[in-house]
Amino acid sequence: MNISLKGKKALIGGSSGGIGKAIAQQLAESGASVTLMSRNESKIIAILENLPTDQGQKHQFLVVNFNDYQGFKAIIFDFFKENTVDILVNNTQGPEAGGALEKTVDDYQTAFDLLFKTVVFTTEFALKHMLKQKWGRVINVASVSVKEPLNYLALSNTIRAAVTTWGKGLSIDVAKEGITVNNILTGYFDTDRITQLNAKKAEKLGVSEKEVRSTMEQNVPVKRIGKPEEYGFLVTFLASEKAAYINGTNIPIDGGLLKSL
């Protein structure tokens, strides 16, 4: 099956590394022009310079800090004055780890701004063009923890669950306009985020990071951690015309980790 996104424009959050970078790479390889978003300017410039342009793609980037909601709003507002996108990948870094007893109301508000308000604000502007052309793809990067909460990720569990229910409602409203909205439930992937979480878990448990990772791998039925490029393949399919009848779904990509149906 050949997937071509030639002529499509994509906006991808958190794309200076890990899953976001892999998504950008695969979308570009399939012909899309991508706009990278990250607070690390040097990293996204380096990534941008290595993205393929053999299909006439024109790539660009935005330096944004998802933790600074007001600043983020201003940059996104200005971007959409001059730009439109056909494919929106809502992806941000995760909030600080910790259990429910460790977090305050203020922590939840900060996580809400980071994970929910940035997503809704960006989608609001992206949809204007999608509705006008009667075609679009909104893909929300969420987590398996919205189905089976991880007790050490209380903030992520809670707010990402809100994103997925919001996405489901939106999918019903825009489907008749040729726009699909889907949520991806992310399992364990070989990223800096996993490394950081494992380091904290190892310190808390008094074991080595290698032991934490090994236990994690053994908990996954395929007995390994996911590769970021595998994530990019799924997003590229969902962004294509081939996935036009897939809408309003929560799609796990976790090697079979989820025990629930």
How far apart, in whole angstroms, are the C-alpha atoms of residue 233 and residue 66?
Answer: 25
- What confidence score (pLDDT) does residue 222 get? 98
How far apart, in whole angstroms, are the C-alpha atoms of residue 50 and residue 253?
Answer: 27
Mean pLDDT of the 179-206 span: 91
Helices (H), the chain: 18-29, 41-49, 69-82, 105-112, 118-133, 154-174, 192-205, 209-219, 228-239
Chain-wide mean pLDDT for the chain? 96
pLDDT at residue 197 greater than cutoff 90: no
Contact between 5 and 236 under an 8 Å Cβ cutoff? The reply is: yes
The two tokens of residue 145 are: 């923890």
Beta-carbon count within 10 A of 203 CB: 11
pLDDT at residue 207 greater than cutoff 90: yes
Encode pLDDT of 165-187 as tens digits. 999 999 999 999 999 999 999 99
- Identify the sign of the CA torsion 69, 71, 33, 172: positive
Encode pLDDT of 91-111 as tens digits. 999 899 999 999 999 999 999
Look at the domain 9-189+228-253 and name its fold: Rossmann fold (3.40.50)
Binning pLDDT at 50, 70 and 90, where does residue 233 land?
very high
Q: Where are the domains of the chain?
A: 9-189+228-253, 191-225
Encode pLDDT of 29-86 as tens digits. 999 999 999 999 999 999 999 999 999 999 999 999 999 999 999 999 999 999 999 9
